[in-house]
């Protein structure tokens, strides 16, 4: 008998419960990836994530070939393609991992109905893309946790399943045809500094991180210039690494650095359990507030300056330019640029979230939208009125100014922390810089935000 394994956001061979279940129950499996028209023809399929995806598929195919198999790639409606492949292979079962977005819920339901109509069964596996399944932990009287600290307490006590080894061999029936693997050549507008995708690179990166760098994470995770975070987020987004395996391995390393790193991974699960219970939170205010945010066309000048990294606040501009160049931004940068847009400029958080999703290689509906809501004060932050001051943030997290000088070449000649406040430079020095004046007075921004808050 034959099973189909539908790969989605779990593009790996190690610790892959759907693949293991399929191999245990069948002689042959069809490892399938559908370039789903419902995703690829929408705004969500942006060049940076498509490029990373191409790498992931190439690496997955290579891994399967090394085990005697291959990856089958199809293009079209995911439900139609899975049904066709299942029919061509005469498969009894389809295995896949669970996911949290409204789109993923609909996909699962449609797939189940269509397969059952053909007499086949769909098996959906949890803890493939999270360490703890969404919905596995609930506070009394609610279907999800809306505050991180109690969630984390419970999350930490959960006994995780043991990670699975990659299979030794995978037999794929010849009857099923595949389209050619997509290539990076067809893609334009990919960020020049984009990371490479694929399980092989992800595993190398994880091992190097745990062996050499995680120890310093607790002290240095906010050091903008030091670049001392794991940069594993794209691998977690595409599932080239398993959260269960990462948590096991990090706990084995132990110590304050590894503990702090595991806590961040719990944030990822936290946001997923929020989105699973409240899929509307991808677009609607989680707290149901009715903020009168500024948008285009009223705020066009501010929005464009923010997107281009020309706000006149160097640390904000540095982070926005890092995003454009690498398709990735440091977490501290994400916090302070988001706070600047939503609170200082009082622009709708969805405008910012969309821009992030258009560039981030790790751009992820749960993490992006719910972090934006957190920062905007519409989400799960228990202190929704805090406003990050970009100058104080810069002095604290980029004390010498090295991060700003790296990303804002117009300011590369300004030494030390003076780079954070170019408006304070003496006349001729300031005049020589091709760098904008601050877009807004911080005090004015704060007053507007307070007025809006008091109204709400």
Using the rule CB under 6 A, is 364 a contact of ligand FAD?
yes
What is the rounded distance in angstroms from the CA atom of residue 200 to the CA atom of residue 198?
A: 6
456 is in an annotated binding site: no
200 is in an annotated binding site: no
36 touches 221 (CB < 8 A)? no
- Tokens linked to 193: 């500094």
363 is in an annotated binding site: yes
176 touches 295 (CB < 8 A)? no
- Coil, helix or strand for 77? coil
Among 16, 125, 144, 237, which residue interacts with ligand FAD (rule: CB under 6 A)? 237
What is the rounded distance in angstroms from the CA atom of residue 45 to the CA atom of residue 42?
A: 6
Among 239, 363, 377, 445, which residue interacts with ligand FAD (rule: CB under 6 A)? 363
What is the rounded distance in angstroms from the CA atom of residue 309 to the CA atom of residue 396?
A: 20
112 vs 231, which CB is nearer to ligand FAD?
A: 231
Using the rule CB under 6 A, is 215 a contact of ligand FAD?
no
178 is in an annotated binding site: no
What is the rounded distance in angstroms from the CA atom of residue 447 to the CA atom of residue 456?
A: 14
Tokens 């498969």 correspond to 91
Terminal-residue alpha carbon distance, the chain: 61
Among 127, 146, 233, 344, which residue interacts with ligand FAD (rule: CB under 6 A)? 233
CA-wise closest residue to 149 among 266, 228, 234: 266
DSSP string, 401-438: SHHHHHH-GGGTTS-GGGGG-GGGS-HHHHHT---PPP
Using the rule CB under 6 A, is 268 a contact of ligand FAD?
yes
Least distance between ligand FAD and beta carbon 232 (Å):
4
Name 434's Cβ contacts closer than 8 Å, sequence gap at least 6: 410
290 touches 382 (CB < 8 A)? no
33 is in an annotated binding site: no
Identify which range of 153-161, 163-171, 227-235, 432-440 contacts ligand FAD by CB under 6 A. Answer: 227-235
Using the rule CB under 6 A, is 331 a contact of ligand FAD?
yes
Q: What angle do CA 324, 325, 327 make, to 5 degrees?
A: 65
97 vs 230, which CB is nearer to ligand FAD?
A: 230
Among 155, 267, 346, 449, which residue interacts with ligand FAD (rule: CB under 6 A)? 267
Least distance between ligand FAD and beta carbon 337 (Å):
7
Using the rule CB under 6 A, is 271 a contact of ligand FAD?
yes
State the maximum Cα–Cα separation within the chain, in Å, rounded to a whole number.
Answer: 79
Among 30, 232, 341, 404, which residue interacts with ligand FAD (rule: CB under 6 A)? 232
Least distance between ligand FAD and beta carbon 373 (Å):
9
Among 2, 133, 282, 375, which residue interacts with ligand FAD (rule: CB under 6 A)? 375
Binding residues for FAD: 217, 229-233, 261, 362-364
Binding site for ligand FAD (CB under 6 A): 221, 229-233, 236-237, 261, 264-265, 267-268, 271, 331, 334-335, 338, 356, 360, 362-364, 367-368, 371-372, 375
């Amino acid at each position: 008998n034959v099973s189909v394994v539908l790969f989605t956001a779990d593009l790996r061979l190690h610790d892959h419960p759907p693949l293991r279940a399929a191999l245990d129950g069948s002689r042959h499996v069809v490892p399938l990836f559908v370039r789903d028209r419902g995703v690829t023809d929408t705004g969500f399929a942006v060049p940076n994530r498509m490029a990373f995806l191409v790498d992931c598929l190439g690496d997955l195919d290579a891994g399967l070939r090394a085990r005697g198999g291959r990856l089958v790639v199809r293009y079209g409606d995911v439900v139609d393609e899975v049904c066709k492949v299942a029919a061509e292979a005469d498969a009894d079962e389809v295995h896949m991992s669970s996911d949290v977005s409204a789109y993923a819920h609909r996909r699962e339901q449609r797939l189940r109905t269509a397969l059952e109509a053909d007499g086949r069964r769909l098996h959906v596996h949890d803890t493939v893309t999270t360490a703890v399944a969404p919905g596995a932990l609930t506070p009394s009287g609610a279907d999800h946790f809306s505050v991180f600290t109690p969630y984390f307490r419970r999350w930490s006590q959960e006994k995780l399943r043991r990670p699975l080894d990659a299979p030794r061999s995978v037999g794929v029936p010849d009857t099923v045809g595949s389209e050619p693997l997509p290539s990076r050549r067809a893609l334009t507008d990919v960020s020049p500094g984009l990371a490479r995708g694929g399980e092989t690179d992800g595993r190398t990166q994880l091992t190097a991180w745990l062996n050499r760098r995680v120890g310093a994470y607790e002290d240095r995770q906010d050091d903008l210039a030091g670049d001392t975070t794991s940069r594993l987020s794209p691998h977690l987004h595409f599932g080239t690494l398993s959260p269960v395996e990462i948590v096991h391995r990090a706990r084995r390393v132990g110590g304050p650095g590894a503990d702090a790193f595991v806590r961040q991974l719990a944030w990822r699960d936290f946001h997923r359990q929020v989105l699973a219970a409240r899929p509307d939170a991808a677009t609607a205010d989680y707290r149901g507030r009715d903020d009168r945010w500024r948008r285009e066309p009223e705020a066009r000048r501010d929005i464009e300056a923010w997107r281009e990294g020309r706000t006149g606040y160097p640390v904000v501009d540095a982070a926005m330019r890092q995003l454009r160049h690498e398709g990735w931004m440091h977490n501290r940068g994400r916090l302070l640029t988001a706070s600047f847009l939503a609170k200082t400029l009082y622009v709708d958080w969805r405008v910012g979230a969309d821009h992030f999703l258009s560039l981030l290689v790790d751009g992820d509906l749960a993490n992006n939208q719910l972090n934006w809501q957190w920062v905007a004060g519409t989400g799960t932050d228990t202190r929704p009125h805090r406003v990050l001051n970009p100058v104080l943030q810069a002095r604290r997290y980029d004390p010498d100014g090295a991060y700003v000088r790296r990303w804002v070449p117009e300011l590369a000649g300004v030494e030390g922390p003076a780079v954070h406040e170019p408006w304070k430079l003496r006349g001729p020095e300031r005049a020589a810089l091709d760098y904008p004046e601050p877009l807004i007075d911080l005090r004015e921004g704060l007053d507007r935000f307070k007025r809006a808050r008091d109204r709400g």
